[in-house]
Amino acid sequence: MAGELLLLDHQETFFALSTDFEKICQLQLEPGKSYLVLARGGVSVVAGRLDLRLETPDAADDTSFTQGHGGPTHFEAGHSTFSLMLATRVPPDPGPDPDLFWAAMLSVRRDPNGGGGELNSIKLVALAVDHVSPVSG
């Protein structure tokens, strides 16, 4: 099987203001294939916490970024990068509804007790692979 690579290059800045997970971007995956999915980009947080989640219907990976403050009137932004990865197998027949599809989705939410944040230079990549085998160890 020749490797197939799906790439979404989301260059626009995304402002994380919601306290509920909201979709940043997603890639539609083809039925009957296995994928290795990677999301990466830049993140900035101002006196708060951002939660990032990469998910498919059968797998998820998540991380959080927290930035404190230097005093009551002085806030500093925290800048970093993130990488999330998962493996998934899309069923050959995703279901009876043709409008439903299998997707890899990157989403974010902010902590209700802190400030917002932003994400930039986001890349969402799905690489079709021959087989995905879970290994514990």
Q: What are 124's two structure tokens?
A: 């969402």
Query: pTM for the full model?
Result: 0.85
Q: Which CATH architecture has domain 5-129?
A: Sandwich (2.60)
Q: What is the pLDDT of residue 54?
A: 97
Q: What is the pLDDT of residues 18-59, one digit of tens each?
A: 999 999 999 999 988 999 999 999 998 877 889 999 999 999
CA-CA distance, 48 to 13, in Å (whole number)? 18
Q: Report residue 79's pLDDT band, with 50, 70 and 90 as the boundaries.
A: confident
Residue 84: alpha-carbon gap to chain centroid: 6
Q: What is the distance between the terminal CA atoms of the chain, rounded to a whole angstrom?
A: 28
Residues 6+ apart with CB under 8 A from 98: none
